[in-house]
Amino acid sequence: MASAHTLRIKNIYKRSLRLLESWYDHRFQYRYQAVLMRDRFDKNRNIKDPREIERVVEEAEKELFLKQHPQPRKFANSPGGVAYEREVVPPDWIVDYWHPLEKAQYPEYFARREERKKEYLAMWDKKYGKSSSEEHH
């Protein structure tokens, strides 16, 4: 398992790459800067002294903070992205409230759905037992 400072360094490296993506639009510019940054990380690869490692990591985090992009690039479906939570997926139980005429248009689907619901309830009862409200009836 990786040590705590190794995970911290990997996190800094990934955030550095994301920062470079925000600053450089063209792929060749980004790639060039990424290679230079990787070289900086490789130069500090063989440091063994924990105090020196901590100093270098602190320096890197400070530099990351100071070089933040005012509008960092975000993935569309990630938090802060333009499409985050745009598509609302309705919960499955909504279908139970369809009108019978709507359900009649898909008889095979609803027959199979009822079978699956019975299987699920049987599995639930087997695993957790019957609920107390059912036992009193």
Residue 120 corresponds to which tokens in the numbers above? 């699920």
For residue 61 the two structure tokens come to 């985090």
* Residue with the larger pLDDT of the pair 52 and 135: 52
Give the whole-number percent of the chain exceeding pLDDT 90.
65
Q: Please say if the pLDDT value at position 131 is more than 80.
A: no
What are the CB-based long-range contacts (under 8 Å, 24+) for 8-14?
Answer: 8/57, 9/41, 9/57, 9/60, 12/57, 12/60, 12/61, 12/64, 13/41
Say what the pLDDT of residue 4 is. Answer: 79
Q: Which residue type does 78 have?
A: S
Q: Give the N- to C-terminal CA distance of the chain in Å, as an integer.
A: 54
Cut 0.85: pTM above it: no
pLDDT tens across 73-102, in order?
889 999 988 999 898 889 999 999 999 999
Convert the pLDDT of each residue in 59-74 to its tens digit: 999 999 999 999 988 8
